[in-house]
Amino acid sequence: MLKKILTCSVVALFVMVGSTSCFASDAGPADITIVGEKSKKPKPAQFPHKKHQDAFKCAECHHGMADGKQVAYAEGQEVQKCETCHNAEVLPGKMLGKLKLDTIKGAGHGNCLTCHKKMAAENADLKAKKIDKCGACHPKKK
């Protein structure tokens, strides 16, 4: 009887650890390189995803699309590459001020740079780190 209880406990432990690691993998990669696949002069952005996840809720960056309009992120929603929607076929001519939302550059600057500028304006330490400058996301190659 003790052997059965011990065996069941070990199996239950493996199932719990296995399912926990499955959920952890839904968090996405720790670091992401964002680059426009159709860009003539791509300037990849290095994005520390884990660092942002630790500080913000998913919905502060992620969103979806329905009927050609942006919809708020809902927990568990499939997260796709930004270029899935931010391209000339899906969002032709769509603008946010001077930014072209039908490009990855325009979408990134609209979402990321806008947030970085706001955060730098509110926090002197972040301003000193120059998070509102190009090099924060687009480091120069060595």
What pLDDT, on the 0 to 100 scale, is given for residue 26? 63
Instruction: For residue 65, give the nearest of 48, 87, 50, 49 by alpha carbon.
Output: 87
- Phi/psi region, residue 87 (left: phi>0; alpha: psi -120 to 50; beta: rest), is beta
Average pLDDT, integer, range 104-122 = 95
Q: Between 10 and 87, whose confidence is greater?
A: 87
Highest mean pLDDT among 1-10, 25-34, 39-48, 117-126: 117-126
The model's confidence at residue 36, banded by pLDDT at 50, 70 and 90, is confident
Task: Report d(CA 72, CA 62) in Å as an integer.
Answer: 8
User: By CB neighbour count within 10 A (0-12 exposed, 13-18 middle, 19+ buried), where does 34 fall?
Assistant: buried
Q: How many residues does the chain have?
A: 142
Instruction: For residue 62, give the nearest of 107, 119, 120 by alpha carbon.
Output: 107
Q: pTM surpassing 0.85?
A: no
What pLDDT, on the 0 to 100 scale, is given for residue 132? 96
The pLDDT tens digits for 72-109 are: 999 889 989 899 999 999 999 999 999 999 999 999 99
Residue 45's SS3 state is strand
CA 138 from chain centre, in angstroms, equals 16
